[in-house]
């Protein structure tokens, strides 16, 4: 088994190939050609932390993948990263472990940004120019870069609670830091990337026709979009089950404002595009699915092995 450290992983990561693989993964998930393993999960109290193991197999592939990830929230107090983990690439022909990708979370961040970019492309209105980014963390930066590049949106607005961080990110992305009201008034596409547990975007802030990619809500209790906003939007989800459980879609579903069967999965949308009306508010609610991990680990491994 090959142990692959981050620099070598980054060398082997071809962004176009990985994006195509993640898209292919969503499509195959929709077609029922992906076997996902149960998610294994452990919780820790002292210090607080958790561990989860996700994995799966795209039918017919030469390899399958398990991802092992931990979060220990107090690690930074000790000068350590809160996240640890790796992806293990295994032969689907012999069961032999081929590689351990010690990606330090970078592949997860990258596949998360790629799902955002794919969703954004699938829901964007023609003629869109302005991308608004809410949040200033790693996903704000990565989604900003990837979406701007993929969709050619060159007018970038950034809003963050910290004006300094917003200014720094805007600078990095070649955009401008603005107030949230201005961002909502001008952006054609808004990407929300905060870990908020109270709505950041409210229904009255968002203009008809706005497209939103929401990537912050990934565990129960998180919410970036007011329930009234989500309830009146067309909803795209990466996984109906997950989004109803702990994504933005869960809020209007639990309030019985949205029907479970109105959700359209991203894989279905990629396979069969939808002509949204120009004044539809469309929200892509992304919680992260294992098929993204499988796809990105697989492309890295293919480059390493050849």
Judged by the rule CB under 8 A, the positions of this chain that interact with a second copy are: 1, 3, 35, 37-44, 47, 49, 51, 53-57, 64, 66, 68, 70-72, 75, 78, 80, 83-84, 86, 88, 90, 92-97, 100, 102
- Smallest gap from Cβ 83 to a second copy, in A, equals 8
Residue among 88 and 124 whose Cβ is closer to a second copy? 88
Q: Which candidate, 12, 21, 50, places its Cα nearest to that of 291? A: 21
**C-alpha 248: how far from its chain's center?**
13
Residue among 92 and 304 whose Cβ is closer to a second copy? 92
Residue among 102 and 245 whose Cβ is closer to a second copy? 102
Residue among 37 and 255 whose Cβ is closer to a second copy? 37
- Smallest gap from Cβ 77 to a second copy, in A, equals 11
Residue among 72 and 159 whose Cβ is closer to a second copy? 72
Do 217 and 247 contact (CB within 8 A), yes or no? yes
């Amino acid at each position: 088994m090959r142990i692959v450290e981050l620099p070598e992983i980054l060398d082997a990561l071809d962004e176009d190939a990985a994006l195509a693989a993640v898209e292919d993964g969503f499509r195959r998930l929709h077609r029922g050609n992906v076997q996902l393993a149960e998610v294994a999960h452990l919780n820790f109290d002292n210090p607080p932390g958790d561990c989860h193991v996700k994995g799966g197999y795209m039918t017919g592939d030469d390899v399958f993948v398990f991802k092992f990830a931990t979060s220990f929230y107090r690690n930074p107090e000790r000068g350590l990263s809160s996240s640890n983990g790796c992806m293990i690439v295994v032969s689907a022909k012999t069961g032999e472990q081929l590689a351990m990708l010690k990606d330090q979370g970078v592949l997860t961040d990258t596949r998360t940004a790629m799902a955002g970019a794919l969703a954004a492309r699938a829901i964007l209105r023609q003629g869109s120019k302005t991308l608004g980014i809410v949040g200033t963390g790693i996903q704000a930066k990565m989604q900003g870069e990837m979406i701007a590049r993929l969709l050619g949106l060159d007018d970038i607005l950034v809003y963050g609670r910290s004006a300094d961080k917003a200014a720094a990110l805007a600078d990095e992305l070649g955009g401008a830091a603005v107030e949230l009201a201005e961002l909502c008034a001008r952006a054609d596409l808004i990407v929300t990337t905060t870990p908020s547990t109270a709505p950041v975007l409210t229904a009255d802030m968002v203009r008809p026709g706005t497209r939103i990619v929401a990537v912050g809500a990934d565990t129960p209790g998180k919410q970036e979009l007011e329930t009234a906003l989500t309830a009146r939007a067309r909803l795209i989800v990466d996984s109906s089950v997950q989004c109803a459980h702990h994504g933005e879609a869960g809020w209007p579903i639990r309030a019985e404002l949205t029907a479970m069967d109105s959700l359209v999965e991203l894989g279905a949308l990629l396979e069969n595009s939808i002509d949204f009306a120009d004044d539809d508010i469309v929200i892509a609610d992304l919680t992260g699915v294992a098929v993204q991990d499988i796809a990105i680990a697989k492309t890295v491994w293919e480059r390493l092995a050849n």
